[in-house]
């Protein structure tokens, strides 16, 4: 069985839940995402818990997506990247707005990890872009940031599903496009502003879909993951 191109956001309250959620979804999805809140609380143990849960259900090859959104001067970001090198994650996020030198520093520090540049957060709408002084609209800003990031060595891009088609056309085909802000039809959008269904995101050119609450808040996580996977043809 081909695993679904989904990264489940393990925004769990403790390490036991990280492990349990990983056990529930790892047979279905390709990737497990450890985010900033969990990593700040639990550190590398969160990545180990995710891997352990996956291994317990026969999925030791699951990818780990470390979503820290690093944003600092190049030397500091390079140092932070080196600090997580031993975790051997598939992806590590940085903010594209940190600039080319910062992204290049991260890419040089972790050549075996896909440095993943976050363009415009899916919680940001056009009014927010204006208020923070970023030249918009969001589509133009995301494409501009994606080009800068790829030229600096990023091998994956995070963008909203509304910008993925434009970015797919603007970057090489081997760049992995990752889309949060993905919600099954009828699901609550919560704090996301620029969203689409999983099917629409893939059709627009996304390679990996970040999905959290529609799976992790479900009564049965495995069943919820399977339902979305089947809707994608996995």
Rounded Cα gap, residues 176 and 155, in angstroms: 6
* Predicted confidence (pLDDT) at residue 102 exceeds the cutoff of 60: yes
Residue 167, phi then psi, degrees to nearest 5: -70, -40
Query: For position 195, what pLDDT does the model report?
Result: 61
Rounded Cα gap, residues 178 and 7, in angstroms: 9
Nearest to 4 by CA among 213, 206, 175: 206
pTM: 0.93
> Quick one: what percent of the chain has pLDDT higher than 90?
79
* Predicted confidence (pLDDT) at residue 184 exceeds the cutoff of 70: no
Residues 216/196, Cβ–Cβ less than 8 Å: no
User: What is the average per-residue pLDDT within 159-163?
Assistant: 91
User: What is the average per-residue pLDDT within 21-40?
Assistant: 98
233 or 117, which is more confident: 117
The structural domain count of the chain equals 1
* Predicted confidence (pLDDT) at residue 190 exceeds the cutoff of 70: no
In tens, the pLDDT along 191-205 reads: 544 567 889 899 999
Residues 6/211, Cβ–Cβ less than 8 Å: yes
Query: For position 30, what pLDDT does the model report?
Result: 98
Q: Which positions are catalytic?
A: 69
Query: For position 132, what pLDDT does the model report?
Result: 86
Query: For position 157, what pLDDT does the model report?
Result: 99
Rounded Cα gap, residues 12 and 9, in angstroms: 9
Q: Where are the strands (E) in the chain, listed by range? A: 4-9, 29-35, 63-70, 91-95, 114-118, 156-158, 176-179, 208-211
Number of H helices, E strands in the chain: 11, 8
The enclosing domain of 12 has a CATH number of 3.20.20.70
- Domain span holding position 39: 2-230
Rounded Cα gap, residues 47 and 33, in angstroms: 9
């Amino acid at each position: 069985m081909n695993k679904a191109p989904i990264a489940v956001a393990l925004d769990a309250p403790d390490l036991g839940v990280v492990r349990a959620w990983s056990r529930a979804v790892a047979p279905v999805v390709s990737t497990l995402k450890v985010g900033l809140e969990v990593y700040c609380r639990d550190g590398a143990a969160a990545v180990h818990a995710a891997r352990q849960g996956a291994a317990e259900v026969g999925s030791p090859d699951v990818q780990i997506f470390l979503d820290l959104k690093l944003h600092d001067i190049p030397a500091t970001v390079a140092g932070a990247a080196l600090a997580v090198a031993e975790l051997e994650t598939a992806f590590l996020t940085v903010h594209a707005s940190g600039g080319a030198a910062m992204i290049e520093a991260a890419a040089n520090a972790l050549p075996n990890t896909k440095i993943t540049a976050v363009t415009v957060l899916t919680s940001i709408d056009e009014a927010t872009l204006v208020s923070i002084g970023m030249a918009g609209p969001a589509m133009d800003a995301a494409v501009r940031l994606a080009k800068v990031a790829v030229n600096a060595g990023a091998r994956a891009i995070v963008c909203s599903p509304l910008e993925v088609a434009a970015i797919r056309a603007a970057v090489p085909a081997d760049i992995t496009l990752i889309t949060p802000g993905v919600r099954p039809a009828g699901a609550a959008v919560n704090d996301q502003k620029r969203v689409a269904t999983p099917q629409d995101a893939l059709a627009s050119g996304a390679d990996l879909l970040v999905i959290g609450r529609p799976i992790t808040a479900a009564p049965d996580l495995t069943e919820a993951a399977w339902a979305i996977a089947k809707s994608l043809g996995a």
